Amino acid sequence: MDAIADYSNEHHRRCVVELWETVFGYETAHNTPSLAIDKKLAAADGLFFVALSGHEVVGTVLAGYDGHRGWLYSVAVHPSHRRKGIGMSLVRHAEDALTARGCMKINLQIVSSNENVKTFYESLGYSTEPRISMGKKIESNIEMPEEQPW
């Protein structure tokens, strides 16, 4: 990895879509990479980062901050670049950005069956909390964007 940079829709979109499809294999409409990118860009919060190897996107992290809690989302590292500290660097970069905004606590969610990811986050100081995670999809806001020509 050469650098962590702010996401640029013009330069990184195609690579991020491909990375997320490879790493996450999304199956639900609200997680479609193009839609997730568009919604994050609409927030205009400067909390979308990419790890670069040359001009290639090899990792991502999205962060969110509502003034009370910070969140980490879409931490992804391309399989061919794993175990090189990229995931740790992305998480630390996002934590620093959230801390600079005054964030006091950072949350994240992982799929309960993904023990490897749980171990990774535990190594970075995160712990399982006694919470029930609940969600509600707002179908009217899940419109599929038109695919961008590359």
DSSP string, 47-101: -EEEEEETTEEEEEEEEEE-SS-EEEEEEEE-GGG-SSSHHHHHHHHHHHHHHHT
Per the structure block, which two tokens stand in for 117? 């990811």
| Residue 147: per-residue pLDDT | 61
The pLDDT value given to residue 62: 97
User: 43 CB contacts (<8 Å, ≥6 apart)?
Assistant: 64
Q: What is the pTM of this model?
A: 0.88
- For residue 126, the model assigns a pLDDT of 95
Looking at residue 114, what is its pLDDT?
A: 82
Task: Return averaged pLDDT per consecutive 10 residues of the chain, 150 residues in all.
Answer: 94 96 81 92 97 96 95 96 96 97 95 86 93 87 66
Phi (first) and psi of residue 99, to 5 degrees: -60, -40
In the block, which residue shows the tokens 């962590």?
4
The third-level CATH classification (topology) of the domain covering 3-127 is Aminopeptidase (3.40.630)
